[in-house]
């Protein structure tokens, strides 16, 4: 009977559920977008290396604190390749120790020149910490790392810009910083990254021993990455590295650290704490839309009760109890909100498809959010319809029939 009443007044039903549709679209759309945004950022952070410490002169999280003089960071020594050997020998908790240098320069092929390309020089442990997936060719071999051969793997975007299609890049020679280098592999396309990361699409990667012949290592943003053993957490690894680095730099007990140990897990925790506030703001904004929709449903239910007063009186006169009348109007209100919520979820699904396909931004609708939307609709329906339904249930049958 509740569904029949909704179907008889199609336009009114549509206008009523439209408010709920917008409310559910705002709530689930906001939560889905924010959680997907956080999930994508967290995935990018994890791709920087799990259980990994970045050894640098810069503190990535706080910059040493607001009161820490910036010039102390500038004057710190930069990591160097020789420290890799000492870290491996003196840090039992370290499984892999990678070294990287980087410059941004041009890459040329015949008459084509690509600018602003990331040129990475790495050692053999780099791929164990930061895996590089290839779509064609092969990765750098151990012998190429040892000898420092003029070979490289090339980013997908760079390959496409130089050769038209990335598939034909393997075996070609390119020139960078005056040196001819042979392409042996093409890196799998990664797409746009939210936090920058390594940006392998716009990069070329070569052995460190060759890279140092085309760049000044001390001015090439050198970086050491240390990944812990499987049974060692990043906190324990960081504690071990403090002692190792102080010994390598020959620091006395009274001297402060002249290096920074940046834990990838700290980045993840920072992002999580930031998104707590963002989610609360999203809830607050979206809830306003839902409240407006709820008042719209309540208003329509009052109108519905007034229109059906004589019908209610007749039902009570032939024996309908209060709970039956109450249940009828509560069901009508709940159905109205559930239908509006389902339409809202459909719109959210459409939004996820648009963002995922056109913006290269994966959006995920979890089962939990779908259940949350249905629960919200039921609760809103009961709240919106309770007072009108109670009013109908309390009517005097004689007086109601006369109206």
pLDDT tens figures, 187-237: 998 876 656 578 899 999 999 999 999 999 888 999 999 999 988 888 899
Could you identify the residue written with the tokens 């008459």?
111
Do residues 63 and 241 lie in contact, with contact meaning Cβ atoms separated by under 8 Å? no
* pLDDT value at residue 301: 79
Could you identify the residue written with the tokens 């034909």?
168
Number of helical H runs and strand E runs in the chain: 14, 10
Tally of CB atoms within 10 A around 230: 7
Could you identify the residue written with the tokens 């799990």?
50
* pLDDT value at residue 69: 63
**Nearest partner of 350 among 363, 337, 334, judged by Cα:** 363
d(CA 190, CA 205): 15
User: Does residue 279 carry a pLDDT above 70?
Assistant: yes
* pLDDT value at residue 394: 79
Contacts of 104 (CB under 8 A, 6+ apart): 116, 117, 118, 119
Do residues 351 and 363 lie in contact, with contact meaning Cβ atoms separated by under 8 Å? yes
The tokens of 147 are what?
């000898």
* pLDDT value at residue 196: 59
* pLDDT value at residue 136: 93
Q: pLDDT: is 302 or 144 the higher one?
A: 144
> pLDDT tens across 84-106, in order?
999 999 999 999 999 999 999 99
Stretch 286-302: mean pLDDT = 77
User: Does residue 321 carry a pLDDT above 90?
Assistant: no
The fraction of the chain above a pLDDT of 90, given in percent, is 35
d(CA 4, CA 338): 15
d(CA 347, CA 345): 5
pLDDT band at residue 122 using 50, 70 and 90 as cut-offs: very high
What DSSP line would sit under 85-150, residue for residue?
HHHHHH-TTEEEEEEEEEEEEEEEETTEEEEEEEEEEE-TTHHHHS---EEEE-PPPHHHHHHT-S
- Tally the C-alpha atoms within 13 A of residue 250's C-alpha that lie toward its C-beta: 0
């Amino acid at each position: 009977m509740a569904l029949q009443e909704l179907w008889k007044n199609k336009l009114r039903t549509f206008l009523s559920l439209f408010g709920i549709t917008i409310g559910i679209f705002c709530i689930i759309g906001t939560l889905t977008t924010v959680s997907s945004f956080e999930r994508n950022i967290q995935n990018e952070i994890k791709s920087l290396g799990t259980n990994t410490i970045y050894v640098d002169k810069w503190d990535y999280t706080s910059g040493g604190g607001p009161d820490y003089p910036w010039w102390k960071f500038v004057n710190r020594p930069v990591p160097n390749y020789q420290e890799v050997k000492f870290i491996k020998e003196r840090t039992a908790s370290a499984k892999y120790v990678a070294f990287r240098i980087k410059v941004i320069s041009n890459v040329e092929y015949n008459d084509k020149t690509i600018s602003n390309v990331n040129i990475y020089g790495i050692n053999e442990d780099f791929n164990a910490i930061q895996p590089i997936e290839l779509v064609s060719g092969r990765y750098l071999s151990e012998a190429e790392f040892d000898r420092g051969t003029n070979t490289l793997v090339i980013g997908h975007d760079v390959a496409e810009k130089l050769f038209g299609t990335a598939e034909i890049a393997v075996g070609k020679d390119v020139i960078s910083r005056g040196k001819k280098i042979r392409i042996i592999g093409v890196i799998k396309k990664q797409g746009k990254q939210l936090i920058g990361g390594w940006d392998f699409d716009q990069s070329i990667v070569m052995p460190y021993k060759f890279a140092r012949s085309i760049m000044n290592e001390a001015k090439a943003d050198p970086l050491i990455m240390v990944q812990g053993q499987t049974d060692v957490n990043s906190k324990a690894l960081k504690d071990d590295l403090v002692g190792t680095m102080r010994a390598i730099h020959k620091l006395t007990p009274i001297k402060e650290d002249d290096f920074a140990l940046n834990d990838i897990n700290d980045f993840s925790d920072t992002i999580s704490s930031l998104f707590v506030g963002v989610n609360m703001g999203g809830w607050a904004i979206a809830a306003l839309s839902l409240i407006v929709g709820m008042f719209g449903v309540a208003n329509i239910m009052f109108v519905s009760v007034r229109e059906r007063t004589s019908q209610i009186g007749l039902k009570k006169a032939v024996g309908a109890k209060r709970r039956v009348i109450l249940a009828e109007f509560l069901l009508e209100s709940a159905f109205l909100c559930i239908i509006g919520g389902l339409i809202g979820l459909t719109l959210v699904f459409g939004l996820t498809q648009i963002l995922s396909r056109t913006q290269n931004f994966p959006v995920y609708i979890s089962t939990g959010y779908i259940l949350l939307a249905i629960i919200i609709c039921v609760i809103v329906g009961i709240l919106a319809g309770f007072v009108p339904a109670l009013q109908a249930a309390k009517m005097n049958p004689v007086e109601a029939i006369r109206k």
